[in-house]
Amino acid sequence: MNKAKKILKLFLAFLKIGGFTFGGGYAMIPLIQKEAVEKQGWVTDEDILEILAIAESTPGPIAINSATFIGYKTAGVLGSAAATFGVVLPSFVIISIIARVLTEFSHIDVVRYAFLGIRAGVIGLVIKAVYTMFRKVKKNAMAYVVMLLAFVCVAIFDIHVLIVIASCAVIGLIYSLTLGRKEQGV
Amino acid sequence: MIYLELLWTFFKIGLFTFGGGYAMLPLIQEEVISHGWMTDEQIIDFIAVSESTPGPFAINIATYIGTEMGNGFWGGLLGAFCATLGVVLPSFIIILIVAKCFEKFKTNKIISGCMTGLKPAVIGLIASAVVSMAHTVFFPSGVSFDVFKELQFYILAAIALVMAFLAIKKVHPILIICISAVIGIGVGYGLGL
């Protein structure tokens, strides 16, 4: 297959992935598997697992990370640009339209009341996000200390989030190079 | 210049968000509110919008704020473009680098070391976002004991807890938002707010 065709296919596949993943994040993994592994054979299932591992240790949304990675593996830098553009485009178009009408509707009583309930419901959704992440994370003394420290620094002392993120990364690094080594038996 | 500010602010947000999803919520709250681009309430409302439309939260909120901040139709489009480009660029660049030297990256002790600290930190950060959201929703006119005399407070708190439970039981987020909206409408008219 020539390169231009490959790049177009990457764009279209990720356009579909971007357009049909609600809520983002891990919700899009099955769709990526279907498009990039089963249909096109661009990457393997093992690649997907590696992409997930990378996505977790690099910044940014999983959607962008996997689009860039698969695009690059398949067709180089242009491929990664095409895939990333494709995955972003549906959100971009839909939200651009919504942004222009959302404020118009926000003063109607029904909409106002609906959002009263929705705001409380959204808190429920974010509580669930905390719960699932808490279940997944490796738990040891350091993890509990960092969790509590990050929470207290931001919620109570109002310290800037970036400072907290950077400090916690340093704590993790020092821990894994000293105490954590014994734990892992290295 | 608003467009450069959008680009730079969302670049920062994109660069320092690990873990995807709501991991970026605390940083977005901090940056967006300090710029006066959105209120606490608007951010919470937008989470609902983002859950009901395709695409990652980060992209959606970048596009939304960019559109709102730009002047007129074309300004809005340019604003959305700058903010979205900003939030995407860090991942894009970093993944390109990682894809080139993947084996070294996988076994890098410094990166994996930082991650052992970042993973639990993100949980604490999102928990703090829950607290600030609860403050906005449950205590709209500031924290005081008067709130506990109002029926509205107990209904909203009940919605949040029940919806958290339903979400953990794998009920789809869009359905959760719909149920919450219906209860909200019932409460709004019922209590004559």
Q: State the CB neighbour count (10 A cutoff) for residue B35.
A: 14
pLDDT of residue B126: 84
Domain segments of chain B: what residues? Answer: 2-108
Helices (H), chain A: 3-20, 29-32, 45-57, 62-105, 109-136, 141-155, 161-177, 179-184
CB contact A170 to B (< 8 Å): yes
The secondary structure of residue B141, as a DSSP letter, is T
What percent of chain A is predicted at pLDDT more than 70? 92
pLDDT at A186: 43
The reported pLDDT for the residue numbered A12 is: 95
Substitution target in B24, B119, B151, B152 with the highest count of A β-carbons within 10 Å is B119
pLDDT in tens, A52-84: 777 777 888 888 888 999 999 899 999 999 999
In angstroms, the separation between the Cα of residue A185 and the nearest Cα of chain B is: 15
pLDDT of the residue at A185:
47
Q: Domain extents for chain A?
A: 3-99, 106-136, 138-186
Alpha helix stretches (DSSP H) within chain B:
2-15, 25-34, 40-51, 57-69, 72-100, 102-106, 109-138, 151-168, 173-191
Name the stretches of chain B with pLDDT < 50: none
Which pLDDT value is given to residue A144? 94
Count of CA atoms in the C-beta half-sphere (13 A) of A115:
18
Q: What is the pLDDT of residue A179?
A: 79
B window 13-52, beta carbon within 8 A of A = 14-22, 25-27, 30, 41, 44-45, 47-52
Q: What number is the average pLDDT over the span A2-21? A: 89
Does residue A184 have a pLDDT over 60? no
Q: Structure pTM?
A: 0.82
ipTM summary value = 0.82
What is the rounded CA–CA span in Å between residue B53 and residue A91? 7
pLDDT digits (tens, 9 = 90+) for A123-140: 998 898 888 888 888 888
Q: How confident is the model at residue A182 (pLDDT cuts 50, 70, 90)?
A: low
The pLDDT value recorded for residue A2 is 80
